[in-house]
Amino acid sequence: MTTRNRLLAGMAAPALVFALLARWALSGASMPFDTAVRAAVHAWASPPLTFVMLAATSLGSEFLLAPLAAILLWRWTATGRRRLAVRAAVLGLSAELLAQLLKLALARPRPPVFFGLSPAETHSFPSGHAFVATVFYGLVAMVFLAGSPSRGKRAAVAALACLGSLAIGFSRVYLGYHYPSDVLAGWALAAAWLALAKLTLPGAAE
């Protein structure tokens, strides 16, 4: 199987998982799972862990991602990688747009938040933090690893991106902003989006 065909399969499989999760969540069938996991996660609550989770969730906030993206795009453009910068910007912005459109179309109500936090104003499914932040950090990892011969470096950067995504997604459940199925759907959609990125970013699929 060629690299292109593997990436196409890598898009199709998580997209199917997302569709199945959407059907499961929106039918209400996921609620026993969602409420059980929320209760189990909330049972671990402590002030130090809450502080860590607030920090983790901020890693997926647009207030952090937007300036980071602007700095990276400027840097890539300044170093002669304008094509990369444009395509990365399109992939990132379209991921954010897709997340908002899906929230509006599917209109799943948010669960009650914990710890007296202010509730979010958008709908719940899929988790925008899980989707958009995973796409962002995944794209950054792809760019930094493109052409790198070092297996250790590749493994370390990939692990860091994955751990960051896991921490952000977990924080959304811990803080009460999302059901677990929202986060799982966000990760599935991000996996499909990153496979698309591998097909479209210069040199990423080589």
pLDDT digits over 70-112, tens only? Answer: 999 998 888 888 888 888 889 889 999 999 999 999 999 999 9
Closest to 133 (Cα-Cα) out of 167, 157, 87, 104: 167
Instruction: Tell me, yes or no, whether 41 lies in a domain.
Output: yes
pLDDT for res 49: 96
pLDDT at position 141: 86
Mean of the pLDDT values across residues 48-75? 93
What percent of the chain stands above pLDDT 90?
Answer: 61
What's the domain count of the chain? Answer: 1
The residue range of the domain holding 144 is 3-200
Name which of 28-42, 108-122, 164-178 the model is least confident about: 108-122
Query: 26-35 as b/e, with b when 16 or more CB fall inside 10 Å?
Result: eeeebeeebe
**What integer pLDDT is reported at residue 88 of this predicted model?**
86
Residue 137 CB: number of other CB atoms within 10 A? 24
Give the pLDDT mean for 52-75.
92
206 has pLDDT over 50: no
Inside any domain, residue 185: yes
Nearest to 133 by CA among 201, 198, 38, 57: 57
Would 194 be classed as within a structural domain?
A: yes
Q: What is the model's pTM?
A: 0.90
Task: Using the predicted structure, report yes or no on whether residue 204 has a pLDDT greater than 80.
Answer: no
pLDDT > 70? residue 124: yes
CB neighbours of 139 closer than 8 A, spacing ≥ 6?
88, 91, 92, 194, 197, 201
Give the Cα separation of 94 and 204 in Å (integer).
19
Asked whether residue 90 is assigned to any structural domain, the reply reads yes
Residue 4 has pLDDT above 80, yes or no: no
In a domain, 156, yes or no: yes
Residue 52 has pLDDT above 90, yes or no: yes
Contacts of 180 (CB under 8 A, 6+ apart): 33, 34, 37, 38, 173
Distance of alpha carbon 41 from alpha carbon 17, whole angstroms: 23
Strands (E), 55-105: none
pLDDT higher at 149 or 157: 157
Evaluate whether residue 15 is within a structural domain: yes
Within-domain flag for 178: yes
Domain-embedded: residue 206 = no
